[in-house]
Structure 1
């Protein structure tokens, strides 16, 4: 099982999510944050959205 990168952990902390929480909980919270804060009118992710997607990819692989 690979580890979450420091950049991913720091991002989670910056949006109020504990990176040590259960992955299912992190998945739900990051998904919500992505939809609410990180997509433009055409549903393209901004820079934060790309980080959210990388975290969701990590969770999907673990």
Structure 2
């Protein structure tokens, strides 16, 4: 499964990166991005990042 970060909504708090750096990183614009697909092992961490995002900028890709 792949997560996506809405670049227009992201405030660059980096909470998701701290929760799951195997999937999220900060880009050159100071916003988070999902650079890897979630694996079975980290899918729960990605969901936690989605649930914890203060501006609800992260979602699962359809």
More helix by share: 1
TM-score (norm 2): 0.33
| Greater relative contact order structure (CA < 8 Å, 6+ sep) | 2
Bigger Rg, which one: 1
TM-score (norm 1): 0.33
